Amino acid sequence: MAKAKTKTAYVCSDCGSEYSKWQGQCADCNGWNTITEFRLPAATVAQVEFEGYGGKRSAVQKLDEINLADLPRITTDIEEFDRVLGGGIVPGSVVLIGGHPGAGKSTLLLQTLCHLATKLDALYVTGEESLQQVALRAKRLQLPTDRLKLLSETSVESICTTAQQHKPKLLVIDSIQVMHLADISSAPGSVSQVRESAAYLTRFAKQTDTAVFMVGHVTKDGSLAGPKVLEHMIDCSIMLEGTSDSRFRTLRGIKNRFGAVNELGVFAMMEMGLREVKNPSAIFLSRAEELAAGSLVMVVWEGTRPLLVEIQALVDQSQFGHPKRVTLGLDQNRLSMLLAVLHRHAGLHLGDQDVFVNVVGGVKVLETSADLALLLAVVSSFKDRPLPRDLIAFGEVGLSGEIRPVPSGQERLQEAVKHGFKRAIVPKANVPKNGVKGMEIVGISKLSEALAVL
């Protein structure tokens, strides 16, 4: 069958919106200079039927005839990795793992595949490194290397052809930004190449029940590079975060069709590779021996478990006309809003003060249960009065000064008791009826009540 003429479209690299002609600004996400040319041959009948994939064509079924048995999962024997994936690897799933250079993406996947290769067939495809470089890393990490198969290739068609011959259960693509299709005229890493290469690999995974891991690069602002539609194609998107000056890495689930989102796994970068941290709260609670004002422990909920994290605040007289509001690990806009609530409903004016807030350990707190602990830490620093070391707090603060309850309050309190905390300030609706053994719990309904308790 003769190929159709190449079609041209213009796609926004941030949100995936398509346009018939180029323009400077995307009308959907308002991004400037994000629209690039996208060239793709028109699909033929053979392409629609997935010729050459070796899979079966899907058939129409009634809803009540579909087998509702649990999806079989492949455990990686790394509990933190399995937790983020939702309990293990689902056959036929496509997982995109992103992170900054040097975060440990390739190391984590190489460790996982080397151990899983002793039980099932696995294929590691490297497009950025040579086979010798991968082998040297595996030797340095003292991993079992006698069963894992390696392939150095950047052509997606060649990769799928090789995979059909060896029939692996797990396939790693490192990385999707260097892969290319012969029918696409643009360079590897462009919007069209990344989009169509990911779509080709996704179809292969679904047709052959092969679990595919794709490594993705991130931009300087921390978002995944490439078209936004890439995140819609895949089943699971996870980010490996960590700074170069810290040996700890956090693996966070951004999207997961087979488990909870915002699930968090913690790893430590050691000489022998990444090692899981089974009790991350103990790491984030390494506080100074002397009591200091502006420090308080809060209990946040990450995925399916509570996590104890220290929050620090520093309030200082502003030396300039515009006071600073700086946050690390929290939303800066939310800090500004909470400071306004503190002024209106607690009578504390911080309009002439610089406010700096930091979440210890590099953890990013995305939920609103940190509101109460944040304000208490700010007040502690402003008054220069240290808070008790055995005190924890959590709760959402509303614009009218009310303290709203948060989910899983009892589980948060029980986690705090395990780590030796004896006092808690929580929303009144989160106070357990029978209490928690070994902990004094104070329930509050307004911000003024919390300050009165202190």
In a domain, 63, yes or no: no
Q: Which amino acid is at 266?
A: V
Tell me which of 262 and 123 has the higher pLDDT.
123
Decide: residue 270, CB within 10 A, 0-12 exposed, 13-18 middle, 19+ buried. exposed
Domain stops at, among 259, 278, 297: 278
Decide: residue 137, CB within 10 A, 0-12 exposed, 13-18 middle, 19+ buried. middle
In a domain, 59, yes or no: no
Q: Same structural domain for residues 129 and 169?
A: yes
Q: Same structural domain for residues 288 and 374?
A: yes
Name the residue range of residue 267's domain: 72-278
In tens, the pLDDT along 267-282 reads: 988 888 899 988 888 7
Q: Which pTM was predicted?
A: 0.76
In a domain, 116, yes or no: yes
In a domain, 176, yes or no: yes
In tens, the pLDDT along 334-390 reads: 999 999 999 999 999 898 999 999 998 778 888 899 999 999 999 999 999 999 999
As for how many domains the chain has, the answer is 3
> Which residues are CB-neighbours of 38 under 8 A, at least 6 positions away?
8, 9, 10, 11, 18, 186, 191, 192, 195
- In three-state secondary structure terms, 249 is strand
- In three-state secondary structure terms, 226 is coil
The answer to whether the peptide bond before residue 175 is cis (omega within 30 degrees of 0) is yes
Q: Same structural domain for residues 298 and 222?
A: no
In a domain, 331, yes or no: yes
Report whether 237 contacts 231 (CB < 8 A): yes
In a domain, 64, yes or no: no
CA distances from 19 to 11, 22, 24 (A): 6, 7, 11
In a domain, 52, yes or no: no
Picking from 140-149, 163-172, 220-229, 286-295, which range would have the lowest pLDDT averaged per residue? 220-229
Q: Is the per-residue pLDDT at 7 higher than 70?
A: no
At 71 the pLDDT is 67
Cα 379 → chain centroid: 31
**Span 229-237, mean pLDDT?**
87
Residue 412's domain is classified under what CATH number? 3.30.230.10
Cα 356 → chain centroid: 25
How big is the CA angle at 302 (ends 296 and 306), to the nearest 5 degrees? 60
pLDDT averaged over the chain?
86
Q: Same structural domain for residues 177 and 227?
A: yes
How big is the CA angle at 19 (ends 18 and 24), to the nearest 5 degrees? 110
